[in-house]
A and B are shown apart, each in its own frame.
Chain A
C-alpha cells in the first residue's frame, strides 16, 4: 500500500489532488491504528461551521486545532458583515442582513450597563462608550465580540468620563482616531462642541487639536458616521434646519461649506457625497406627536421579530442620502404605515415604500403617497433601481460556505472599512423583501451602467432634479404628517369616548343620562389641556419623582377621577418608559389594566425608576464627599451639590452640616471668603459664594 501511495504522488499533484505534506502524520497513522487523520481542509471546513462557543472551547483540543482556529486567515474567511446595534430594551445585538436574523451579544462587562453607545468598528473590533451602573462614569472600551476580549482606552478626558456624559458628548471614529467632543453649554437645551479630544490608536495617546464648528450647530446625532475620510453628524441650526456637519479627520478641520441654507441637493467637491437636505419644521413635532429622533435605526427585539421603532432617521450612505420615517407609536394602524423613502441618486427617483415588520408585500398601505405623480419629475430614461441592490453591489460577497442557515452564528466582523453605517443597511435589506421580484432583474442588468454613468452627469441636471426632489419630498412629508396627526387624533378620540362610556356604564345608577346633577367626567382632553409632562424613562430618581409630583398636580387641577388616573398617566410614558410599560402589561389581562389604580401604578413605577441599590448609594455618597469645585461655576456646583445630597441625607441632616459640606466643596479662594462671611443659611452662603465668584472674575 505504501508503495502505491508513493508512486501516485506525482500523478496526483499533477491532477490537482491535495497531497498531505506532513510525513509526521503518516507515521502517526502507522503507530496509532485508531487515529483518524483529518485533512486540514476538511477540518477547516468543519470548524468554520461552528459557533464561537465550541470554537473557543476546542482551542484546547490540541495544538494543531488551536493553530487552525487562531489563524487570522481562518478568522477572516469566516467573517461576515453584520450590523451592530444597541437599544435600551434589547441590549447589544447584531443584525445579520443576509439571514435577516438578530444575534444578541453579551456586554463586555458583568456589571449592569446603564448606557452604551457604539462609536465605530474596525476589523471586527467594536468601540463602545459604556456607562457602568446608574451613577457610573463613562469608559471607552475596545471590544471583540467574538473572543469577548476587552481593552479599556486609558484616561478618558475629564468632562467625558462624568456622569451623563454618555449622552452629552459628541463621538466619532475614523482613520484610527477616536474623537470625543467636549460639550460646552450655552443654555440647557443647546450645546456646542468646540474642542475635540482625539485618541490615536496608533500612538495610544490623547491630544486636543483646536476645532471649531462654525455656527454653533446643535448635534442631534451624537455618534458620527465615518465615510470617505470624513466624519458626518446630523445637526440642527438655529433656524431649525437639519444639515450635515462634516469633519475632516486627518486635519481635524470641519467644513463649514456644508452649512448651507438652501433646499438644494448639491454635490460636494471635497467629499464627493451627495446630500439631500430636508426641512422638517420642528414645530410639527410638538409634544403630542411622536418626538423626532435623529439617530441610526434602533430596532427592537420583539418576539424575535425585527420591528423598526424610530421616529425619523436621516442618514447618509455612500452617495446616497435617504430619509426614513416611522412613528414610534405602538398603535397598530400607524405602525403599518411606516414608510421608507429612498432616494436613489442614480435613478433620480424618490421611492416611497410601505414597510411592514412581517415583510409581506403591502402595496395597499398609504395609498395617497404611492399615488402621487412622482413620474413628472423623474427623467424618463432612467429606470427604477431598488436601493438595496445598489448597496449589495458595493458589499463584498460573503464566503460561499456560509450559505447554510446558522441560527447561532456569533461571528462578526463589522464593516471591513467601517464604511457601512450601522442601521442603514438594515433598512435597505429589510425592505428588499418587500420589493417585487421583477425589478431585481432590471437591476442586475443595469448594475454596470449605474456606476459608469454616474460621473457623466451634468451638474445642471443634478441641480434641477435636486430642487425637485427636495420640493416633492417636502410636500409629501407635510402631507404625511397631517395624515398622521389626523390618525392620532381619531384614535385618541375613539379611545377617550370608549373610556367615558365605560366609566358612565360602570357608575351605579348612572343610567340617568347626562343630567346636571351628574359630576363632570374628566376627559383626556381636559387632562392634556393641563399639559402634563412626559416621561422618557430616564433612570434618574430625581427626574422620576419630579414627574410623579407634576402628574399628581395635573390630576388635582383637572379633577381627575380615580379610575382613569393610571390610564392617563401611562399615556404620558414615552420611549424607554413606554417600552417598560408595555412589557409589564403583557402579563396582565385587559381588565386588570383598565382597573389599575393610581397607587398601583405609582408602586410599579417607583420600583422601576426610583429604586437605587445600596451599592450605588454608597458610591454616590463617596462621590458626594469627594466633590470639589474645579472648573465649574458656583451655580453649577451648587446644583450638583444639591442633586447629590439627595442621596446621602445623613450628611446634610441639618442646615449647619449642609453648610459645612458646601464650604468644603468650594474653591479655596471662594471658600475663605464664604467662611469669613459667617452666613446663617445655606441660601445666604450660596449668594455670598456667587458674589465672590463674580468679584474674582472682574
Chain B
C-alpha cells in the first residue's frame, strides 16, 4: 500500500496528517477515499482537535492483532473521564471505528452503572424533564432498581 497521507480537519479548523493505510481503519474515511480519492482535506465538523488527536493516536498504534483488544482497553482506561470518553465515542461514531466506539461505550457503561439517578444526571449533564409524579410512578414500579 502506498504511503499516501491524508489531512483531517477538526471543527476548530486544525489540521492533522495521517497515513492513508492507517486512516482507512475508519470506514467513513475508507468510503471517502474510494469515492473521490480524497485529494483534499477531510473535514470532521463534529470532532474537536483534542479528541481528533486522541483518535489519531489510536489509529497510529502499532500493535499485533492479538494484543489489540488489550491495547484498546488500556487506551480507553487511561482517559477515564466521562466527557472525554463521550467525545471519543462520538468521534468514533462519525468516523465509524467500531472497536474504539465499543471500548469507549463499554467504559462509560462501567463508570455509570453504579451511579444513582442524580449522579448520572450530573455526570452526563442530562436535563431532568420529568415531573416528580412521573418519576415517582417509575420509582414505585421498579423499586428493586433504586
Query: Which residue numbers of A lie inside 8 Å of B, CB to CB?
Result: 1, 4-5, 8, 12, 15-18, 28, 32, 34-36, 38-39, 41-42, 45-47, 49-66, 106, 147-148, 401, 404
Smallest Cβ distance from A404 to chain B, in angstroms?
6
Q: Is the CB of B45 within 8 A of A62?
A: no
Q: Which 7 A-B pairs have the closest CB atoms?
A: A49-B109, A56-B145, A45-B105, A56-B142, A42-B89, A57-B145, A46-B105
Q: Is the CB of B120 within 8 A of A4?
A: no
Determine the residue in chain A with the shortest Cβ distance to B113.
A54
Q: Is the interface of B mostly helix, strand, loop or mixed?
A: helix
CB < 8 Å neighbour of B94 from A1, A17, A49, A65: A17
CB < 8 Å neighbour of A5 from B45, B106, B112: B45
Q: Is the CB of A65 within 8 A of B126?
A: yes
Q: Mark B72-115, 1 if CB is under 8 A from A, else 0.
A: 00000000000100100110011010000110011011101111
Q: Is the CB of B115 within 8 A of A54?
A: yes
Smallest Cβ distance from B89 to chain A, in angstroms?
5
Q: Is the CB of B124 within 8 A of A38?
A: yes
Smallest Cβ distance from B30 to chain A, in angstroms?
10
Determine the residue in chain B with the shortest Cβ distance to A57.
B145
Contact flag A41-B93 (CB < 8 Å), given A4-B45, A36-B83, A62-B129:
yes
CB < 8 Å neighbour of B144 from A38, A53, A64: A53
CB < 8 Å neighbour of B113 from A15, A50, A106: A50
Smallest Cβ distance from B58 to chain A, in angstroms?
16
Contact flag A62-B126 (CB < 8 Å), given A39-B93, A54-B114:
yes
Query: Which residue numbers of B lie inside 8 Å of A, CB to CB?
Result: 11, 27-28, 31-32, 35, 43, 45, 83, 86, 89-90, 93-94, 96, 101-102, 105-106, 108-110, 112-117, 120-121, 124-130, 135, 138-139, 142, 144-146
Contact flag A60-B126 (CB < 8 Å), given A8-B43, A8-B45, A45-B89:
no
- Pick from A4, A5, A56, A148 the residue with the most CB of B within 10 Å: A56
| A residues less than 8 Å from B121 (CB atoms) | 61-62
C-alpha gap A50/B93 in the complex (Å): 19
C-alpha gap A12/B29 in the complex (Å): 11
C-alpha gap A34/B127 in the complex (Å): 11
C-alpha gap A18/B45 in the complex (Å): 12
Q: Is the CB of A60 within 8 A of B109?
A: no
Determine the residue in chain B with the shortest Cβ distance to A403.
B102
Contact flag A17-B139 (CB < 8 Å), given A5-B45, A53-B144, A54-B113:
no
| B residues less than 8 Å from A63 (CB atoms) | 129-130
Smallest Cβ distance from B44 to chain A, in angstroms?
9
| B residues less than 8 Å from A55 (CB atoms) | 145
| B residues less than 8 Å from A42 (CB atoms) | 86, 89-90, 93, 101, 105
| B residues less than 8 Å from A34 (CB atoms) | 125
CB < 8 Å neighbour of B117 from A4, A45, A52, A61: A61
Q: Is the CB of B89 within 8 A of A1?
A: no
Q: Is the CB of B35 within 8 A of A15?
A: yes
Smallest Cβ distance from B98 to chain A, in angstroms?
9
| B residues less than 8 Å from A47 (CB atoms) | 109
Q: Is the CB of A404 within 8 A of B106?
A: yes
Q: Is the CB of A57 within 8 A of B114?
A: no
CB < 8 Å neighbour of B86 from A36, A51, A54, A58: A36
C-alpha gap A4/B44 in the complex (Å): 10
Q: Is the CB of A18 within 8 A of B112?
A: no
C-alpha gap A104/B76 in the complex (Å): 31
| A residues less than 8 Å from B135 (CB atoms) | 60
C-alpha gap A4/B47 in the complex (Å): 13
Contact flag A45-B113 (CB < 8 Å), given A5-B45, A8-B45, A52-B145:
no
Contact flag A147-B105 (CB < 8 Å), given A35-B125, A62-B126:
no
- Pick from A58, A64, A106, A401 the residue with the most CB of B within 10 Å: A58
Contact flag A35-B114 (CB < 8 Å), given A15-B32, A16-B31, A45-B102:
no
Q: Is the CB of B102 within 8 A of A401?
A: yes
Q: Known contacts A60-B130, A61-B124; can you find 4 more A-B pairs with CB under 8 A? A: A16-B28, A36-B86, A62-B127, A66-B138
Determine the residue in chain A with the shortest Cβ distance to B136.
A60
Q: Is the CB of A62 within 8 A of B128?
A: yes
Contact flag A50-B45 (CB < 8 Å), given A58-B117, A60-B117, A147-B142:
no
- Pick from A17, A18, A148 the residue with the most CB of B within 10 Å: A17
Q: Is the CB of A62 within 8 A of B130?
A: yes
13 pairs across A/B with beta carbons < 8 Å?
A8-B43, A15-B35, A17-B94, A46-B89, A46-B112, A53-B145, A56-B142, A60-B130, A62-B126, A62-B129, A64-B129, A66-B130, A148-B142
C-alpha gap A12/B124 in the complex (Å): 27
Determine the residue in chain B with the shortest Cβ distance to A53.
B145
Q: Is the CB of B106 within 8 A of A54?
A: no
Contact flag A15-B127 (CB < 8 Å), given A42-B89, A45-B89, A58-B120:
no
C-alpha gap A434/B112 in the complex (Å): 38
Contact flag A36-B125 (CB < 8 Å), given A15-B35, A401-B102:
yes
Determine the residue in chain B with the shortest Cβ distance to A65.
B126
Smallest Cβ distance from B37 to chain A, in angstroms?
13
Determine the residue in chain A with the shortest Cβ distance to B95.
A17
CB < 8 Å neighbour of A54 from B89, B105, B125, B145: B145
C-alpha gap A32/B127 in the complex (Å): 10
Smallest Cβ distance from B34 to chain A, in angstroms?
10
| B residues less than 8 Å from A57 (CB atoms) | 116-117, 142, 145-146
| A residues less than 8 Å from B112 (CB atoms) | 46, 50, 54
C-alpha gap A38/B126 in the complex (Å): 10
Q: Is the CB of B94 within 8 A of A35?
A: no
| A residues less than 8 Å from B43 (CB atoms) | 4, 8
Smallest Cβ distance from A41 to chain B, in angstroms?
5
